[in-house]
Chain A
Amino acid sequence: MTPYLVPRTEPLLRSALDQDALLHQLVDALGSPLNVVLPGQLAENLAGFRAVLDAHRLPGEVYFAHKANRSSALVRELAAAGAGLDVASLGELQHALGAGFGPARIMATGPKSPPFLALAARAGVIVNADTLAELSELALLVAAHGLPRVRVMVRLSSFDSPGVNVMSRRSRFGTPVSQVGAALDLLEKHADTLELIGMAYHLDTMGLPEKAAALEGCLKAMDECHQRGLRPRALDIGGGFGVNYLADGAQWESYTTALTEAVLGKRPPMTWHGHGYGLRNEGGKVRGTLSVYPSYRPVAGAAYLDRLLSTVSPSLRRPLATLLLDNMYDLHVEPGRALLDQCGAVLGTVLEVRDDGDETLVRLDLNARDVSIEEHGVLMDPILISRPGVAGGEPAGVYLLGNLCLESDLITRRKVFLPARPRPGDLLAFVNTAGYLMDFRADHALMQPVAHTVALTREHGAWRWCLDERYWPAADRGEAA
């Protein structure tokens, strides 16, 4: 059985990929690589998250984690759709303000440089404070410039758990939950400059028990606020809801089994230089851990949020959503990857196809930084878009080489199986890469070009395109006149 890992594509993305003449024309004109974003998918994704909040009767906002993609089209579309935006740098904050987000819908998170913090305070956005020092710095800044009170949330970390010791990787972010008292002292002291609106956590984990413990920790911290007479009413639980990348769970299961067998030497290598993705063979036993993203995730995105909210709190013994609602709290979420599910693809031109011994090597005009599926451990096949009018060849297993003059520049170290052997001039589409996998790391190494980004939209069945920076939702929809 051929170890395919067919990506999951929903109707809009599939329809865009079917426009092979248009896509070839765009790459001919704008060069390879080319990023394609689909702002038209965002409304549905946003509605999915809002539906979960509504189903649990929870008021709150969906803040898109901007760092997942720098596209203007996507950010402007979200501004028009009434979403919130989570910005983590000065540049992202400027981008957000320029895209039309009002300050009430912008949340500044992460570590902050002085100019970032200053612009956040002056614009009046919500500051999600990473440390106590940041709170003090912000209070001084607001007082010194006579600015209005700034709304703040306190990001907490290092939660403990009842019953069993739920271990969490140490985070470099946030204030340990044991220091909530000190944080509240500080907020009471600076009550004239800082307004506490809630508590936050963001954990980089797929583990529900860890997140449940953190949410419970935030609820208890909120209770501490109430005891002091403070009245915060929002909880921000960050993102990390995940994406399901593959169409078929059975393919994922048989692929990972085959990979294990290859590591044990029971079948021919499936990777460049026998790379084991974290697995290694020690005396005929598999050691290590399969260090890849679980590309098939039956519960991801909004469904994962729903499952988290339905989880019964270990110590308060009610579902987390019920506890939030009982306490009259708003729930803010910050999905990045999940909100961009199905929102784009990276296109690369096939430059050369050559046979080297038993292997077939395909050289592409893009590199591993233009489409960082390998860095993120997302295993899924690209889709072959043949030049129109050219018949496809026989199925083939190939290695995908990048355009950098570096031994290590493979788009993926997996041997990738395609339904037809590609030919020079064909395109490979790395689909569903808008969230973190697009130009997150793109650079001018070796003076290779960084991809242009185009926004594709479908109106009345016809596809239209424009440069990312020229996309404005209202203008594109032709709502004027």
Chain B
Amino acid sequence: MRYDHVTDMIGDTPLLRLDPAVHGLVNIDLYAKLELFNPFGSVKDRAAWSMAAPYLRQATERGDTVVELSSGNTAKALAVIAGMHGLPFKSVTNRMKVPEIKDLLLLLGAEIDELPGQAECLDPTNTEDPLTRMHQLLAGSDSGYLHTDQYFNRRNIGAHVHGTGPEIVADLDGRAPDYFIACVGTAGSSAGVATVLRHHDPDVTVVGLVAEKSDFIPGIRNIDEVHEVGLFDPGHYDSIETISADEAIDGLLTLVRRCGILAGPTGGGAYQGAVRFLSAVDAQLTERRTAVFIVCDRVESYMSYVRERRPALFHQPARRHSTRTITAEELARAKAIDVPDAQRWIAQEGCVVVDLRGPFAYQALHIDRSINIVDELFAELVHGGLPFGRRQPVLLVCPVGEKSARYAALLTRMGHPDVRSLAGGIIAWRDAGATLVRD
């Protein structure tokens, strides 16, 4: 398929029927609307383009900055769109909670303003919400801003009224599904799609999913925050249910491992919420029904989010040469020498002094003629084998002599005959009054 503009590729995403063997629903065909197929990677491409497109010409003439309150996919899509039109983009956010997205936004050329955290000692007069602060920023500035205002902008809903909703109906041969389940972030996609489906069939059941308050799910608001959203209207939903971060990750795993859909946690939450809701309905049914949920974006940006909550999923195979396998006996056998002996040894034997601290600290002060190999790097080197000859005596140095002792034990196990650890580390060296230099 040929295109002239990447923005023409927004929308017309696939609707995929999921294998009943995976979700276990007997009487319901469950479809995933694969919004991760949008060109910038998420459902927000639609809203971003819908909100920005009509104003881009004027913004370009005036040299405006595009600005949005977002720490996720809307910011990503707007950063791309702004960049393509030669406009700067600024994202204002409480906190960038997903590091990969932060790096991606910086890569795309976005400027990110993180608002201050809450004061430890309460200042009751400080009651500004991020949106108010942003409006102050926009009002107080001389230069122009194109503020897309995703939480209040009707064009956000419009993108789904004219795109996502009709696409679903068309793909189901002109019929609305019986159930539609969506996560509520800006409420744009859920409200927009719900409007279209209800228009086709007033009996469609719409379920909105919000996050539990104890943990966050990227792109979903919790039950309190949802009331701050200008586009949120409880009337659009037959029921509002909560979903936990844990459930969202369960859903993500099912989608990525069993369905071939590389969905992020929001899509995972929608799947898990859909199956939970529909399982209860399924048991009562005697005829076939259809249900649709939205997969918002892709999994790759959420590695650290998942790792933080499910470290076991990233379990690495044991390393061959690793200090983690050092036994207490090996550690006791490793040679350690105190500061006066070390000074003599360095002077007489010309041993290599390897400083395992970080380069920042090494630059500040170190033992004369020592070599800096930061511990992470040293671990990598040792993994591959001995990083120096057996006839070369080595003195290992770390802050307090613990890390260096473990490496001395490991190198001894690997067959090095004369590797020693500086007892008490460089702190003992300093406290003994021995010389430290800056080069």
Closest to B125 in A: A291
Question: B116 and A210: CB pair below 8 A?
Answer: yes
Separation of A278 and B116 alpha carbons in the complex (Å): 17
Chain B hits for A219, CB < 8 A: 360
Q: In the complex, which residues 285-316 of chain B have their Cβ closer than 8 Å to any Cβ of chain A?
A: none
B120 contact from A59, A166, A204, A292, Cβ within 8 A: A204
Question: B124 and A57: CB pair below 8 A?
Answer: no
Chain B hits for A285, CB < 8 A: 227-230
B122 contact from A209, A292, A328, Cβ within 8 A: A292
The answer to the question of A226 belonging to the interface, with a C-beta cut-off of 8 Å to chain B, is yes
Q: How many residues of A contact B (CB 8 A)?
A: 53
Give A396 Cβ to nearest chain B Cβ, in Å.
Answer: 27
Instruction: Please judge, given known A-B contacts A209-B95, A256-B224, A264-B227, whether A327 and B114 are in contact too, CB under 8 Å.
Output: no
Question: B214 and A253: CB pair below 8 A?
Answer: yes
Give B292 Cβ to nearest chain A Cβ, in Å.
Answer: 28
The answer to the question of A375 belonging to the interface, with a C-beta cut-off of 8 Å to chain B, is yes
Q: In the complex, which residues 200-237 of chain B have their Cβ closer than 8 Å to any Cβ of chain A?
A: 212-214, 223-224, 227-230
Dominant SS among interface residues on chain A: loop
Closest to A170 in B: B116
Question: A169 and B119: CB pair below 8 A?
Answer: yes
Separation of A323 and B375 alpha carbons in the complex (Å): 12
Instruction: Please judge, given known A-B contacts A164-B114, A278-B127, A289-B127, whether A327 and B119 are in contact too, CB under 8 Å.
Output: no
Question: B402 and A57: CB pair below 8 A?
Answer: yes
Separation of A377 and B362 alpha carbons in the complex (Å): 45
Question: A326 and B400: CB pair below 8 A?
Answer: no
Instruction: Please judge, given known A-B contacts A291-B127, A318-B358, A328-B426, whether A167 and B227 are in contact too, CB under 8 Å.
Output: no
Most chain B CB within 10 A, of A204, A206, A292, is at A204
Q: In the complex, which residues 222-275 of chain A have their Cβ closer than 8 Å to any Cβ of chain B?
A: 222-223, 226-227, 239-240, 242, 249, 253, 256-257, 260, 264
The answer to the question of A60 belonging to the interface, with a C-beta cut-off of 8 Å to chain B, is no
Give B151 Cβ to nearest chain A Cβ, in Å.
Answer: 9
Instruction: Please judge, given known A-B contacts A57-B402, A209-B95, whether A164 and B113 are in contact too, CB under 8 Å.
Output: yes
Separation of A316 and B376 alpha carbons in the complex (Å): 14
Chain B hits for A286, CB < 8 A: 224, 227-228
B129 contact from A57, A206, A288, Cβ within 8 A: A288
B102-117 interface mask toward A, CB cutoff 8 Å, 1 = contact, 0 = none?
A: 1100100001111111
Question: A327 and B361: CB pair below 8 A?
Answer: yes
Chain B interface: which size bin? 35 or more
The answer to the question of A146 belonging to the interface, with a C-beta cut-off of 8 Å to chain B, is no
Chain B hits for A239, CB < 8 A: 120
Chain B hits for A256, CB < 8 A: 213, 224
Question: A260 and B224: CB pair below 8 A?
Answer: yes
Question: B127 and A164: CB pair below 8 A?
Answer: no
Question: B400 and A375: CB pair below 8 A?
Answer: no
Question: B127 and A57: CB pair below 8 A?
Answer: no
Instruction: Please judge, given known A-B contacts A226-B438, A256-B224, A326-B399, whether A209 and B121 are in contact too, CB under 8 Å.
Output: no
Give B327 Cβ to nearest chain A Cβ, in Å.
Answer: 21
Chain B hits for A326, CB < 8 A: 357-358, 360-362, 399
Chain B hits for A257, CB < 8 A: 213, 223-224
The answer to the question of A9 belonging to the interface, with a C-beta cut-off of 8 Å to chain B, is no
The answer to the question of A136 belonging to the interface, with a C-beta cut-off of 8 Å to chain B, is no
Give A318 Cβ to nearest chain B Cβ, in Å.
Answer: 5
Give A297 Cβ to nearest chain B Cβ, in Å.
Answer: 11
The answer to the question of A360 belonging to the interface, with a C-beta cut-off of 8 Å to chain B, is no
Give B110 Cβ to nearest chain A Cβ, in Å.
Answer: 9
Question: A328 and B399: CB pair below 8 A?
Answer: yes
Chain B hits for A287, CB < 8 A: 129, 131-132, 228
Chain A hits for B131, CB < 8 A: 287
B358 contact from A167, A209, A242, A323, Cβ within 8 A: A323
The answer to the question of B430 belonging to the interface, with a C-beta cut-off of 8 Å to chain A, is yes
Closest to B115 in A: A167
The answer to the question of A294 belonging to the interface, with a C-beta cut-off of 8 Å to chain B, is yes
The answer to the question of B284 belonging to the interface, with a C-beta cut-off of 8 Å to chain A, is no
Separation of A240 and B214 alpha carbons in the complex (Å): 22
Chain B hits for A173, CB < 8 A: none
Separation of A142 and B230 alpha carbons in the complex (Å): 62
The answer to the question of A207 belonging to the interface, with a C-beta cut-off of 8 Å to chain B, is yes
Chain A hits for B106, CB < 8 A: 163-164
Separation of A291 and B123 alpha carbons in the complex (Å): 8
The answer to the question of A322 belonging to the interface, with a C-beta cut-off of 8 Å to chain B, is yes
Question: A375 and B117: CB pair below 8 A?
Answer: no
B356-379 interface mask toward A, CB cutoff 8 Å, 1 = contact, 0 = none?
A: 011011111100000000100000
Give A443 Cβ to nearest chain B Cβ, in Å.
Answer: 19
The answer to the question of B142 belonging to the interface, with a C-beta cut-off of 8 Å to chain A, is no
A207 contact from B102, B116, B127, B227, Cβ within 8 A: B116
Question: A294 and B118: CB pair below 8 A?
Answer: yes
Chain B hits for A278, CB < 8 A: 124, 127
Q: In the complex, which residues 360-382 of chain A have their Cβ closer than 8 Å to any Cβ of chain B?
A: 375-377
Closest to B365 in A: A226
Question: B102 and A327: CB pair below 8 A?
Answer: no
Separation of A282 and B126 alpha carbons in the complex (Å): 18
Closest to B229 in A: A285
The answer to the question of A325 belonging to the interface, with a C-beta cut-off of 8 Å to chain B, is yes
Chain B hits for A337, CB < 8 A: 120
Separation of A66 and B113 alpha carbons in the complex (Å): 35
Most chain B CB within 10 A, of A57, A222, A316, A323, is at A57
Give A432 Cβ to nearest chain B Cβ, in Å.
Answer: 16
Chain B hits for A293, CB < 8 A: 122
Separation of A289 and B132 alpha carbons in the complex (Å): 10
Instruction: Please judge, given known A-B contacts A249-B214, A253-B213, A377-B122, whether A227 and B402 are in contact too, CB under 8 Å.
Output: no
B118 contact from A207, A222, A375, Cβ within 8 A: A207
B89-102 interface mask toward A, CB cutoff 8 Å, 1 = contact, 0 = none?
A: 00000011000001
Given A167-B116, A325-B399, 13 additional A-B pairs, CB 8 A: A164-B102, A167-B113, A205-B119, A207-B116, A223-B363, A226-B438, A253-B212, A288-B127, A291-B124, A325-B400, A326-B357, A328-B361, A375-B122
7 contacts between A and B (CB under 8 A): A164-B113, A205-B117, A223-B364, A227-B438, A287-B132, A291-B124, A325-B400
